[in-house]
Chains A and B, each alone.
Chain A
Amino acid sequence: AQSVTQLDSQVPVFEEAPVELRCNYSSSVSVYLFWYVQYPNQGLQLLLKYLSGSTLVKGINGFEAEFNKSQTSFHLRKPSVHISDTAEYFCAVGGGSNYKLTFGKGTLLTVNP
């Protein structure tokens, strides 16, 4: 079984500040890791993914994340946020043979002017 922990339910930051959204996972098998963003009343949009290879992955909108196997983490970072980055961010993990994703509870990023 897998689980995902998003350590912060809410993260308020000022515009142009850097941000890190934390995600830790547990799994007994090899994992595939994803970050999704959800704007109000919308579906989820894939921000970035780690499937294999380089542990530093870059995604859309200037976000990046680093897969750290020893710390079982996949933290999301952006060096300078914009008001438009205000949204809910979900970390998800997949692995094994059932093709399902397990989602964290989400982190609400609020960017203030």
Chain B
Amino acid sequence: GAVVSQHPSWVICKSGTSVKIECRSLDFQATTMFWYRQFPKQSLMLMATSNEGSKATYEQGVEKDKFLINHASLTLSTLTVTSAHPEDSSFYICSARGLGLHPYEQYFGPGTRLTVT
């Protein structure tokens, strides 16, 4: 149980375009989803927290107009990287916590590798 999927697993886009990444909880209802960014050989950096039906809460230093997060249902959250630039290239990972799970227990998606050319 507690499976989270992400789509796409990797994406290449041109500078200036926008990219949408989906995060789905497959077998539980995700009351909260978290979006992380991971640079090579580094730990996870929390970007934002989204609760179903509410606006996302962004961590300090994360541009909310660049990284648009929507959590419209209990099983789906999306991260849209707007006007992407090469410095946005990274590994993006989502996680979810939800009903029936311990409040601090997070389950992670497989990640999305974004390359901006």
Contact = CB atoms under 8 A, between A and B. Distances in A.
Nearest to B49: A100
Contact of B102 (A32, A42, A44, A106): A32
Interface string A37-49: 0000111111001
A43 B42 contact: no
B43 A44 contact: no
Contact of A44 (B103, B105, B108): B108
Interface in B66-117: 91, 93, 95, 97, 102-111, 113
Given A32-B104, A43-B108, A100 B93 contact: no
B44 interface: yes
A44 B93 contact: yes
Interface residues of A, number: 22
Contact of B46 (A34, A42, A90, A100): A100
Given A90-B44, A106-B43, A101 B106 contact: yes
Nearest to B105: A49
Contacts of A98: 49
Interface in A73-103: 90, 94-95, 98-101, 103
Interface of B: 4, 6, 32, 34, 42-44, 46, 49, 91, 93, 95, 97, 102-111, 113
Pairs of residues from A and B, 4 with the lowest C-beta to C-beta distance, nearest first: A94-B104, A44-B108, A43-B108, A43-B110
